[in-house]
Structure 1
Amino acid sequence: MANLAVFLILIISTITDLRNRKILNMVTLPAILVALIYHWFTTSLDGFIFSGLGFLVGLGLLFIPFIMGGIGAGDVKLLAAVGAWKGTMFVLYTGVYAAIIGGLISLIILIKRRQFGFTLKSMLFSILYLKGTKGSLQVPSDTKQPVSIPYAIPIALGALLTFLMEANL
């Protein structure tokens, strides 16, 4: 049941993030609540703790990027929902894979837009002079919009890789 729930949550969230750039609360919040209740009823207090810790780890993984303005609240709640259903280790692996996949997607977009050099210089300047960019990539005003990706895609792909890894153990 948990695997099916996670697949449905990720599919719905990926579609809405691609179409509207939003991950809906009406998907993530009930998913978190149902996961906590499901694990409570199936394995009692141990299940509730399993689900609660997964929720907290999923929330914590993206909380700092959210505070810095680099990621949306829906992405944070989506990863927390995955954690509530599948637990801490699953969500940790999913978060690491999602970060790698999201970084690769961003890198490809920057190279395609020919903004990689400017972005690298901007990041180095920010580090050298401790100048914050509030978690966003800044690009010159004469070019296209800042690089932004619907992060439900890397989260879904990260979860898929974690499912595959889990199946091979």
Structure 2
Amino acid sequence: MISNFVLITALLISLITDIKKRKILNIVTIPAILFGFIYYTTYQGLEGFLFSGKGFLLGLSLLLIPYLLGGMGAGDVKLMAAIGALMGTSFVLYSFVYIALIGGLISVVLIMKKNGIKNSLRLYFFQIIFLRGNFGTILINKDKSSSISFPYGVAIVAGTLCTFVWGSFL
């Protein structure tokens, strides 16, 4: 299917640019979104437009709150919207679950790499035991030098490819 080819092409370009420049380019995501709308509308009419539109809106909304909170870039949000516009709601939802799991795993590995496994586990259990309420958030250091970030496009691409390979997990 041509929409699969367009999506895989957009994912691979986005992966490369996100790793190299920490950016997912509009020149990749916007045409992919438009292609999804035009392709499905052309071949399925109003039903195709709604298929693509619902996927677009779901993909957009899944990462909108993390973006608004400053946790990720707009390119990540637009890439998820492109996945939705090209593949529909169920595909983007399954992809999102894989993406969240892979992103969480990458985060845990990076935290343990930065802080060491022993210190990471000690801090984790300390927070669980002693800092359960709001008081704990006051004590945790929130400066930018201690933060860890990675190009989330890696998790988006990996999670979407997992959905291609394994499909739904139910």
Aligned to 1:67: 68
C-alpha separation between the residues in 2 aligned to 1:139 and 1:51?
41
Where do 1:140-155 residues align within 5 Å?
Answer: 141=145, 146-155=147-156
Query: Cα RMSD (Å) of the superposition?
Result: 2.8
Aligned to 1:164: 165
Q: Secondary structure, in 3 states, of the residue corresponding to 2:8?
A: helix
Aligned to 1:109: 110
How far is the alpha carbon of 1:30 from its aligned partner?
Answer: 1.4
Q: List per-residue Cα deviations over 1:77-100 (Å, max 9, x = no partner).
A: 001000000000000011111011
Read off the aligned partner of 2:134 and give its amino acid letter: L
The 1:140/1:166 distance shift into structure 2, 3 A limit, reads closer
Aligned to 1:44: 45
How far is the alpha carbon of 1:127 from its aligned partner?
Answer: 5.4
How far is the alpha carbon of 1:165 from its aligned partner?
Answer: 2.1
Where do 1:95-134 residues align within 5 Å?
Answer: 95-114=96-115, 116=120, 120=124, 128-129=134-135
C-alpha separation between the residues in 2 aligned to 1:130 and 1:80?
36
Gaps of 5+ in 1: none
How far is the alpha carbon of 1:131 from its aligned partner?
Answer: 5.1
C-alpha separation between the residues in 2 aligned to 1:54 and 1:98?
16
Identity %: 46
C-alpha separation between the residues in 2 aligned to 1:72 and 1:32?
17
Residue 51 of structure 1 contacts residue 85 of structure 1 at CA under 8 Å; is this kept in 2?
yes
C-alpha separation between the residues in 1 aligned to 2:137 and 2:65?
17
Comparing both structures, which one devotes a greater share of its residues to helix?
Answer: 2
Q: TM-score, normalised by structure 1?
A: 0.85
Gaps of 5+ in 2: none
